[in-house]
Structure 1
Amino acid sequence: MASELLDALTILEKEKGISKEVIIDAIEAALISAYKRNFNQAQNVRVDLNRETGAMKVFARKDVVEEVFDQRLEISLEEAKSIYPTYEIGDVVELEVTPKNFGRIAAQTAKQVVTQRVREAERGVIYSEYIDREEDIMTGIVQRLDSKFIYVSLGKIEALLPVNEQMQNERFKPHDRIKVFITKVEKTTKGPQIFVSRTHPGLLKRLFELEVPEIYDGVVEIRSVAREAGDRSKISVHSDLEEVDAVGSCVGPKGQRVQAIVDELKGEKIDIVRWSDDPVIFVSNALSPSKVLDVIVDEEDKATTVIVPDYQLSLAIGKRGQNARLAAKLTGWKIDIKSESEARDQEIYPRGNIEIVDDEEPLFLADDELE
């Protein structure tokens, strides 16, 4: 058994990357507890596992004293010198006390320690691998569902997709392939636990990185994302290279790139707008598909008043205020939308020779425009 144990530890060190010395130290510590528990001993003992032969021995450690009060822990100077003449008071004498049937207990204890250490090492490897994937996208396979979670296999581990991170328009069944965004990786007593999402704005951003080479290469940058998962989203994009059409790159030939993302998100509508450091341009772009006549900016309160044609007021606000709400999230500016006639009544429009600088209409991608 002894040599087999050492051979097994050598194999584990190569295959699992677990140090043989670390396991041996753990086995020795576990054997001390096993000895005291099984043989009802309160001695101060040391267990030695021979690194060459694998033989295990138990040694009682006793302090050399002038007068012995506890024979389990102390030994007289006279008795110590009979063992080895150079012993002095304060030294520690080690006496072998290995029980005859200690081998069976040692084998069982060693097996438990090795199993535990292998499990801990595997958990550590998995945690190290997935902690680096936080805020990243992965493809998994649905394993099972209950009232709280969808359990998604990511290969080495099963991730949890909570109900509040699921899109309402989606229904999955076991064995479905699914792309998920990793929101959190936690260490627990039972091993790593991974939480994923289908509603996080980061999922949309990562999907564009996968589909649009210009984004992956850094030529086009996603500056902000606003999302109401399963219904509608807006992203703003920008490129420092004048010859690169940031919006066109995201759309792709005949809308193929963005359509792939729309399909993955089960028909979620996506507005792709051009980012600008000028809030007038950026806010007007963000309110696509409505036409904007003017944007009045309040820098102090980071608020804007947007003037739109009367017939486009409902389009600018959107169903249940969704378009305005997403535009505000996308730009980081408060947005108050007024119709042209209301603005004229309040004498805030027109303001003179002020016009929207960007004459290019923002791009709104609806299903019928992608055909």
Structure 2
Amino acid sequence: MSKELVTALNALEEEKNIKAEVLVEAIEDALKKAYEKDYNEADNVEVNFDPKKGNIKVYSVKTVVDTVEDENKEVSLKDALAKNKAYELGDEIKFEVTPSDFGRLAAQTAKQIIMQKVREAERDNVYDNFITYQDEIITGEVERQDSRYLYVILPGGQEAAMKPEDQMPNEHYQMGDKIKVLVSVVQNESKGPQVFVSRTHPDLVKRLFEAEVPEVYDGTVEIKAIAREAGDRSKIAVYSHNENLDAVGTMVGQGGARVQAVVNELSGENMDIVEWTEDPVEFVKNALNPAEVVEVLFDPANERGITVLVPDYQLSLAIGKRGQNARLAARLTNYKIDIKPESERDAVIAELEDPERIAAEQAQQAQRADAMKSAD
């Protein structure tokens, strides 16, 4: 058994990058438990494993006392002095008690516990490696798909799972396809590290632009917000920390080259890049691009409520196909946006300023606030 352990120890440290001291500790712990179980001994034993020679020795640790009451745990001062005249009361002495057949009897139990420790160490190594990639882009290879996930092999052979909601609706994945994914979640589970990746997460768009636009990577141009309907359209709000640099133009690139590279990577997903500003009126106007906004009216009864007036002939453009333009603008700005034609301005203002409606809305908000406090 000892030779096999030394061979396994060397192989695991070299091939699996598991530190020798981790395995030695696991081995000693395993053999101690095996000894206590199979030989019905007390817990005052130590097991020493020599990782170079493979020698295994079991020691019973006894305390030096005047009068011995428990021979398994105590040794008389007289016997201790006979062994070494330097011993005093209270000292601990180790006596070797290694059974001749210990290696054979303990092998199976030791192997089970050692393998458990090895799996734990391997799991921690993988977790430590991939947690550094969380929220980053990595290129993987499509391996297979079942009823739950699409499985992608990442560098190093780690398998990652992609949930259905993380798969692009306009993409069809084939075994062997190389795809860029965002490492969205890394979990250290008892059954092994679980790595989840995504093609639909908004941060994938952000990381792709960081790779294509040096000014984004170095922070000169900041991506303030992203609203995304993966596979179809994204709206991105950007801000330049250099007043002489146009944030939107920088993102688009000469001839649209930069934004087109991201669009191509996302299988044709459209990109609306707008300028972010602290002024909510201007930001909402920008977010509703390409529609023209005539006026932005704030709702006095709802702090995050806004009604936007647009030219009648641009109403459908502002709302967008299936409401997408308005929906993405609302998510980008974090405002509840209601779009109305300019011809209804008087009616809209009358409704917004209606005192009964304002009072009712404020009462509802107070009730919601009280309910949240009660829940807390």
Q: How high is the TM-score relative to the length of structure 2?
A: 0.80
- Equivalent residue for 2:143? 143
Q: Please give the alpha-carbon distance, in whole angstroms, between the structure 1 residues aligned to 2:311 and 2:20.
A: 76
- Equivalent residue for 1:34? 34
265 and 53 in structure 1: CA distance in 2 versus 1, 3 angstrom threshold: closer
**Aligned residue runs from structure 1 range 1-371, under 5 A:** 9=9, 18-42=18-42, 44-50=44-50, 53-84=53-84, 87-104=87-104, 115-156=115-156, 157-297=158-298, 301-343=303-345
Are the counterparts in 2 of residues 43 and 73 from structure 1 also a CA contact under 8 Å? no
Are the counterparts in 2 of residues 16 and 121 from structure 1 also a CA contact under 8 Å? no
Identity of aligned residues (%): 54
Are the counterparts in 2 of residues 59 and 96 from structure 1 also a CA contact under 8 Å? yes
Q: Which has the higher helix share?
A: 2
How far residue 220 of structure 1 moved from its aligned partner, in angstroms, is 2.0
SS, match of residue 326 in structure 1: helix
Q: CA RMSD in A?
A: 3.1
Q: What whole-Å deviation, never above 9, does each CA across 1:124-167 have from its counterpart, x for those lacking one?
A: 23212221222222221111111211111112311111122223
Counterpart amino acid of residue 291 in structure 1: E
How far residue 52 of structure 1 moved from its aligned partner, in angstroms, is 6.7
3 and 208 in structure 1: CA distance in 2 versus 1, 3 angstrom threshold: same
Q: Please give the alpha-carbon distance, in whole angstroms, between the structure 2 residues aligned to 1:275 and 1:80.
A: 82
SS, match of residue 120 in structure 2: helix
How far residue 234 of structure 1 moved from its aligned partner, in angstroms, is 0.6
Q: Please give the alpha-carbon distance, in whole angstroms, between the structure 2 residues aligned to 1:86 and 1:218.
A: 69
Task: Figure out how many residues of one structure are paired with residues of the other and give that number.
Answer: 348
Q: Please give the alpha-carbon distance, in whole angstroms, between the structure 1 residues aligned to 2:221 and 2:43.
A: 71
Are the counterparts in 1 of residues 18 and 122 from structure 2 also a CA contact under 8 Å? no
SS, match of residue 71 in structure 1: coil
52 and 240 in structure 1: CA distance in 2 versus 1, 3 angstrom threshold: closer
Q: How high is the TM-score relative to the length of structure 1?
A: 0.81
Q: Please give the alpha-carbon distance, in whole angstroms, between the structure 2 residues aligned to 1:54 and 1:110.
A: 14
Are the counterparts in 2 of residues 210 and 216 from structure 1 also a CA contact under 8 Å? yes
Are the counterparts in 1 of residues 61 and 92 from structure 2 also a CA contact under 8 Å? yes
Q: Please give the alpha-carbon distance, in whole angstroms, between the structure 1 residues aligned to 2:8 and 2:348.
A: 85
How far residue 42 of structure 1 moved from its aligned partner, in angstroms, is 3.5
How far residue 339 of structure 1 moved from its aligned partner, in angstroms, is 0.9
Are the counterparts in 1 of residues 23 and 118 from structure 2 also a CA contact under 8 Å? no
Could you list the runs of 5+ residues in structure 2 that have no partner in the other structure?
A: 351-376
Could you list the runs of 5+ residues in structure 1 that have no partner in the other structure?
A: 349-371
Counterpart amino acid of residue 141 in structure 1: E
